[in-house]
């Protein structure tokens, strides 16, 4: 299925929000901080403290499948997820807006047209689909939600049937949005339905649960009423996890100590934003590959906690077995070696690093990954770190699921 966002819209205002989104003001969050820029992750990602709706989040997290059953065709149905609570749908969304590539990839996996807009289209890496038959996404017309802030007008212009965005992300990432703005878009355009799953480093998220990749994927499958596609992917993923486990050395001492870093600047790095491996979905492949976190064994603070950077001298003191550099997902492996790695080989201190000398410097994976992306980048990482051979997942099976052959 080639998805280019060309599906025409056939109805308007078919969705409505209920529960905590119905102008109750119970969502956690307040305005404040600065936005993330369009380049490195070292761009400011300030978040302020909030008064959270713990009771609402707890209620949402405890919703059972009975509370989110899909109604027969043409009838309303509801889906619950923290922090948005229960959202009622009068029909399956046809057009949608996503926070990032994690959710966009989930939608594609569920056979949907791609979202009309995401936070930063440059970080939705659609080239991951290139090796999968009959699956592609043209994002040339995809709108960037962020541009020196996020305007409410862009939501009106896009006119999505659902906004797959954690509203707390809007309320806490930069100055400009307040609860009244969330309520306005929810009521005048379409509801919000999202949870910030890619990182566990935000203090404002502490009041409600994070979801794993497949927990979030299941929730979105309920929104699009694509339970069978989700179950097919879950089964594929289970087999994939078994294949990955067979690649990982049984002895912990045989697994590399890695450092995940965002280089500054990306092509000719002189400093690095350090990322300690956490529970967010952006680290899923590294958890599944059971690598050791070299930075976790030092006094280096996670970027989300400190907003700090480290230099080559500090990195040399740690001297990880493997360097995993983010912000390079638009490059091929060859381009990465010819630019970033070549620069490090010729830098006086960087050239002393064990990883540089051994050739164990690799692309560190995306910030955002959904079910398809995760298969691709995990297999790539297994080959980089453990020399895995062949394919760890069936590309044709992925294509079949996306295109409706369960």
The answer to whether residues 279 and 184 belong to one domain is: no
Residue-level pLDDT at 173:
83
State whether 277 and 180 are in the same domain.
Answer: no
Residues 332 and 192 in one domain: no
Same domain, 270 and 192: no
pLDDT for residue 74? 65
- Based on the fold, state whether residues 124 and 172 are members of the same structural domain: yes
What's CA 57's distance to the chain center, in Å?
21
Query: Residue 246: is the preceding peptide bond cis (ω within 30°)?
Result: no
Same domain, 40 and 163: yes
The verdict on residue 25 lying in a domain is yes
pLDDT of residue 307: 78
Q: Is residue 233 part of a domain?
A: no
Instruction: Decide: helix, strand or coil at residue 361.
Output: strand
Q: pLDDT at position 202, please?
A: 86
- Joined together, the tokens standing for residue 262 give 């965002």
In a domain, 237, yes or no: no
Gap between the Cα atoms of 217 and 112, Å rounded: 13
Same domain, 275 and 396: yes
Could you tell me the two tokens for 41?
């992750």
The domain in which residue 38 lies consists of: 2-225
pLDDT digits (tens), the chain, 406 positions: 655 544 333 333 334 433 333 333 333 333 333 333 333 443 333 333 333 333 333 344 444 343 444 444 568 999 999 999 999 999 999 999 999 999 999 999 999 999 999 999 999 999 999 999 999 999 999 999 999 899 999 999 999 999 999 999 999 987 889 999 999 999 999 999 999 999 888 889 999 999 999 999 999 999 999 999 999 999 999 999 999 999 999 999 999 999 999 999 999 999 999 999 999 999 999 999 999 999 998 999 888 777 789 999 999 999 999 999 999 999 999 999 999 999 999 999 999 999 999 999 999 999 999 999 999 999 999 999 999 999 999 999 999 999 999 8
Which pTM was predicted?
0.84
Burial of 305 (0-12, 13-18, 19+ CB in 10 A): exposed
Same domain, 359 and 213: no
Q: Number of folded domains in the chain?
A: 2
Could you write out the DSSP letters of every residue in 132-181? STT-EE--TTPEES-SSS--HHHHHHH--SEEES-HHHHHHSSTT--HHH
Q: Are residues 342 and 211 in the same domain?
A: no
Q: What's the pLDDT at 73?
A: 52
In terms of domains, do 354 and 263 share one?
A: yes
SS3 250: coil
Q: Which of 131, 281, 124 is nearest to 217 (CA)?
A: 281
Which pLDDT value is given to residue 28? 35
pLDDT at 201: 83
pLDDT confidence of residue 69: 42
């Amino acid at each position: 299925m080639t998805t280019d966002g060309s599906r025409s819209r056939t109805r308007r205002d078919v969705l409505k929000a209920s529960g905590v989104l119905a102008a109750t003001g119970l969502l956690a969050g307040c305005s404040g901080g600065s936005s993330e820029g369009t380049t490195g992750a070292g761009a400011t990602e300030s978040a302020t403290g909030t008064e959270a709706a713990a009771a609402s989040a707890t209620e949402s997290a405890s919703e059972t499948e009975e509370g989110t059953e899909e109604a027969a065709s043409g009838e309303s149905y509801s889906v619950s997820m923290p922090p948005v609570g229960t959202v009622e749908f009068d029909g399956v969304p046809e057009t949608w807006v996503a926070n990032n590539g994690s959710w966009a990839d989930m939608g594609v996996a569920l056979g949907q047209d791609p979202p009309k807009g995401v936070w930063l289209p440059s970080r939705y890496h659609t080239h991951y689909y290139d090796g999968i038959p009959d699956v592609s996404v043209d994002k040339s017309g995809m709108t960037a939600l962020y541009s020196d802030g996020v305007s409410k007008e862009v939501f009106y212009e896009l006119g999505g049937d659902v906004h797959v965005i954690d509203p707390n992300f809007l309320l806490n990432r930069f100055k400009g949005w307040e609860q009244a703005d969330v309520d306005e878009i929810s009521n005048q355009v379409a509801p919000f339905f999202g949870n910030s799953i890619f990182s566990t480093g935000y203090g404002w998220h502490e009041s409600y649960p994070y979801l794993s990749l497949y927990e979030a994927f299941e929730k979105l499958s309920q929104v699009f009423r694509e339970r069978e596609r989700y179950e097919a992917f879950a089964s594929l993923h289970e087999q994939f996890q078994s294949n990955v486990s067979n690649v990982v050395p049984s002895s912990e001492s045989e697994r590399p100590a890695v450092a995940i870093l965002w280089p500054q600047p990306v092509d000719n790095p002189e400093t690095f934003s350090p990322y300690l491996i956490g529970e967010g979905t952006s680290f899923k492949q590294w958890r599944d590959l059971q690598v050791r976190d070299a930075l976790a064994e030092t006094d280096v603070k996670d970027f989300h906690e400190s907003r700090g950077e480290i230099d080559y001298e500090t990195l040399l003191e740690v001297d990880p077995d493997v360097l995993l550099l983010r912000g390079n997902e638009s490059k091929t492996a060859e381009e990465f070696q010819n630019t970033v790695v070549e620069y490090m080989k010729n830098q006086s201190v960087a050239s002393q690093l064990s990883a540089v000398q051994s050739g164990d410097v690799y692309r560190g994976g995306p910030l955002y990954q959904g079910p398809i992306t995760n298969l691709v980048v995990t297999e790539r990482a297994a080959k980089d770190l453990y020399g895995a051979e062949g394919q760890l997942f069936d590309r044709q099976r992925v294509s079949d699921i996306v295109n409706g052959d369960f």
